[in-house]
Amino acid sequence: MSDRLHYEAGFHVSWERFHRDARSLAARLHGPGQPEWKAVVAITRGGMVPGCIIARELGLRVVETISVASYAHKDQGALQLLKAPDAALMGDGSGILVVDDLVDTGRTLAFIRERYPKAHLAVVYAKPQGAALADTYIAEVAQDSWIYLPWDMGLVYVDPLTRKGNSE
């Protein structure tokens, strides 16, 4: 693979697509057979955007965060709980909707499931290795893909493959 095509190995998500997929996740979490949610708990930082979208769609005003660090750029490290949500709210997790942008290996979701066994774990995107740990997700992405989320990207000019027929 050439250097100029390195970005094509990833899964690129626009703001519009992410918003649509987060709303689709909210729709799956609403209606008959779903619990009456008490709160959304967003896993920082990636879960904050879908957490807010889902809270809006489901009419939930209680939005809390949990911060679990496992990544240093693209490398996995030891899990650390940096901030726990309100203990009185969480209990065993009953009625709590924990939201993240994606599940990769599943380590973060397993860490949260251990602490809040009755919480519902919902993610927008799931890779096969961690998909079984999510109770609900919208789309599966190949394990070897890097998911480029809109808050991690900026618009830049890209050179065409050839200058032939293109002005310089």
Instruction: Please pick, among 3, 100, 152, 159, the residue that the annotation labels catalytic.
Output: 100
Active site residue 100: yes
Q: Is 107 annotated as a binding residue?
A: yes
Instruction: Tell me how far apart the alpha carbons of residues 66 and 2 are, in angstroms, rounded to a whole number.
Output: 40
Q: Is 59 annotated as a binding residue?
A: no
Cα distance between residue 135 and residue 7, in whole Å: 30
Is residue 97 a known part of a binding site? no
Does 101 qualify as catalytic in the annotation? yes
Is residue 159 annotated as a catalytic residue, yes or no? Answer: no
45 annotated ligand binder: yes
Residue 103 annotated as lining a ligand binding site: yes
Which of 86, 92, 101, 144 is catalytic? The answer is 101
Q: Is residue 142 a contact partner of residue 165, using CB atoms and an 8 Å limit?
A: no
Q: Which of 150, 156, 127 is nearest to 18 (CA)?
A: 150
**φ, ψ of residue 118 in degrees (nearest 5):** -100, 5
Q: Which of 21, 75, 92, 104 is catalytic?
A: 104
19 neighbors 42 (Cβ within 8 angstroms)? no
As annotated, the binding site includes 45-46, 100-108, 146-147
- Catalytically active residues are 100-101, 104
As annotated, the binding site for 5-phospho-alpha-D-ribose 1-diphosphate includes 45-46, 100-108
